Amino acid sequence: MRTDRSRALEPFLAMEIMERAFELEAAGARVVHLEIGEPEFPAPACVVEACERALRDGQTHYTDSRGLGALREAIAEDCQRRSGVAPDPAQIMVTAGTSPAMLLVFSLLVDRGDEVVMATPHYPCYPNFIRHCGGEPVLVPTRAEDGFALDPDAVRAALTPRTRAIVVASPANPTGAIHDRETLEALAQLGPPLVSDEIYDGLVYDGAETTSVMGISDEAFVLDGFSKRYAMTGFRLGWVVAPEWSLRALQTMQQNFFISANHFVQHAGIAALKGGAPAAEHLRRACARRRGRLVDGLRNLGFGIPRSPEGAFYVLADARRFGSDSRTLASALLERAHVGTTPGIDFGAAAEGMLRFCYAVSEEALDEALARLAEVLPALEAQAQNTIEGET
């Protein structure tokens, strides 16, 4: 018998598409994966070596629930390099990926009936974490024409006495939006604590810059990790920088729910922060080239992209000329062209009719995906047009 809490969870459609793609591959198909937010790059060599060495040295046991002291100190130094703000290592909790950090933070902040305000289109898991904790997400629409920028006045209008937090993401998934310092300062002044997802920090293009909320508010929760910058998705290693008042409660939940992040993986994290910068910069530069390649290719195929994304490694494109139901369209592209894309509805009703494409893959994969799409899109467009004419 399912609980109300479990029934409130929506499937993560990016994973659903990927898992169906795995089935096709097991049957012999070759799928081009643009659906999942995973860099098609190897982890830095120093990371792999550190992980191997830690395993050989027997670093396979529990650690302090908050993470190895050396890793927390390395994270603080990395924050200083990237943002100019060095948090106290005591304010850092290491987690098994950024998702557990989100679950801990929302478990701390949200009770039944509480509200959390965020931009939409949004990362699919934010509302699910909030609903799982008994709360309700309050969505503030953004527009593609504005680069999906979040308007502080619109956020202010969405606040109620039940608001417990404001979620910000810069760069954002799936939009690539970057929020400037002025916007973040305005959001911080609204009162509820900011929960800032900074996992894509550093993945910016065309001279864009990011601002960490650590330099803006002492009451913010900053979520970050290794998956995106260092191509370490499978290592499952992240962290949260939290206000002093929240630390004991977060530690208690970590002890109960997760115990600690993997010991040997934490050593890999130290290696990434100490020696992984060249690999991270290589990844960023490669993504910068591939962003333009994909944006141009999608526009040539008829997708609507008013502005190129400034950060992260996704393109959220208007696909309504090929079908208004993004889940059906993504499924058709996977089955007919063997190209994985993420349905826009995964990112909220505001993104219905859109598809998200990840460009952190090889240029050859992008070219192959675009060629395959070109073969099937005309038929899908004709089908969509016939449907519209039939309805009118």
224-276 confidence digits (pLDDT tens): 999 999 999 999 999 999 999 999 999 999 999 999 999 999 999 999 999 99
pLDDT in tens, 174-225: 999 999 999 999 999 999 999 999 999 999 999 999 999 999 999 999 999 9
Q: From CA 68, how far away is CA 79, in angstroms rounded?
A: 17
Total length of the chain: 392
Taking the CB of residue 22, how many other CB atoms lie within 10 A of it? 13
d(C-alpha 362, C-alpha 364), whole Å: 5
Distance, in Å, from the CA atom of 233 to the CA atom of 268, rounded to the nearest integer, reads 12
195 and 78 both lie in a single domain? yes
264-300: pLDDT as tens digits: 999 999 999 999 999 999 999 999 999 999 999 999 9
Q: Would 359 be classed as within a structural domain?
A: yes
Q: What is the mean pLDDT of the chain?
A: 95
72 and 26 inside one domain: no
- % helix, strand, coil for the chain, step of 5: 50, 15, 35
Render pLDDT for 319-366 as a digit per residue (tens, 0 to 9).
999 999 999 999 999 999 999 999 999 999 999 999 999 999 999 999
Q: Which of 233, 250, 276 is the last residue of a domain?
A: 276
Has residue 357 been placed in a domain? yes
User: How crowded is the C-beta side of 240, counted as CA atoms within 13 Å?
Assistant: 31
Q: Quick one: 199 and 100 in the same domain?
A: yes
For residues 202 and 173, the answer to whether their CB atoms sit within 8 Å is no
For residues 237 and 373, state if they share a domain: no
Same domain, 127 and 241: yes
> Angle at Cα 280 formed by Cα 275 and Cα 283, nearest 5°?
150
Beta bridge partners of 317: 355
- Find the angle CA(77)-CA(82)-CA(83) to the nearest 5 degrees: 95
- Sequence-distant (6+) residues with CB within 8 A of 280 are 44, 202, 229, 230
Contact predicate 102/129, CB 8 Å: yes
- pLDDT of 392 over the 90 cut: no
pLDDT in tens, 353-366: 999 999 999 999 99
CA dihedral 29, 35, 39, 43 (to 10 degrees): -60
Q: Are residues 205 and 80 in the same domain?
A: yes
pLDDT of residue 3: 76
What tokens appear for 41 in the block?
A: 């790059």
CA pair distance 122, 350, nearest whole angstrom: 9
Residues 33 and 124 placed together within one structural domain of the fold: no
Q: Are residues 133 and 163 both part of a single domain?
A: yes
Predicted confidence (pLDDT) per residue in 374-389, tens digit: 999 999 999 988 776 6
In a domain, 8, yes or no: yes
Q: Mention every residue, 6+ apart, whose C-beta is less than 8 A from residue 264.
A: 51, 54, 55, 59, 60
Asked if the structure places residue 390 within a domain, the reply is no
The confidence score (pLDDT) of residue 388 equals: 67
Q: Domain check: are 38 and 70 in the same one?
A: no
Q: Are residues 269 and 170 in the same domain?
A: yes
Identify the bridge partners of residue 225 per DSSP, sorted by sequence position.
238
Token pair for 178: 């970057």
Q: How confident is the model at residue 7, as a pLDDT?
A: 78
User: How many Å apart are CA 94 and CA 24, to the nearest integer?
Assistant: 36
Measured N-to-C along each axis, helices 69-83 and 263-275 cross at an angle, to the nearest 10 degrees, of: 30
Are both 58 and 85 inside the same structural domain? yes
Residues 25 and 64 occupy one common structural domain: no
Q: Please report, for the domain that includes residue 81, its CATH number.
A: 3.40.640.10
**Burial of residue 98 (number of CB atoms within 10 Å: 0-12, 13-18, 19+):** buried
**Which domain-ending residue is among 276, 307, 323?**
276
Say which residues have a Cβ less than 8 Å from residue 56's Cβ, sequence separation at least 6: none
Split at pLDDT 50, 70, 90, the class of 2 is: confident
Quote the tokens at residue 361.
């893959």
Q: What is the domain range of residue 87?
A: 45-276
Q: Model confidence at 5, in pLDDT bands (50, 70, 90)?
A: confident
Which pLDDT value is given to residue 389? 61
CA-based nearest residue to 210, from 180, 238, 232: 180
Query: How many domains in the chain?
Result: 2
360: domain CATH number is 3.90.1150.10
Q: First and final CA of the chain: distance in angstroms?
A: 44
**Of 208, 241, 276, at which residue does a domain stop?**
276
Structure pTM? 0.94
pLDDT digits (tens, 9 = 90+) for 90-113: 999 999 999 999 999 999 999 999
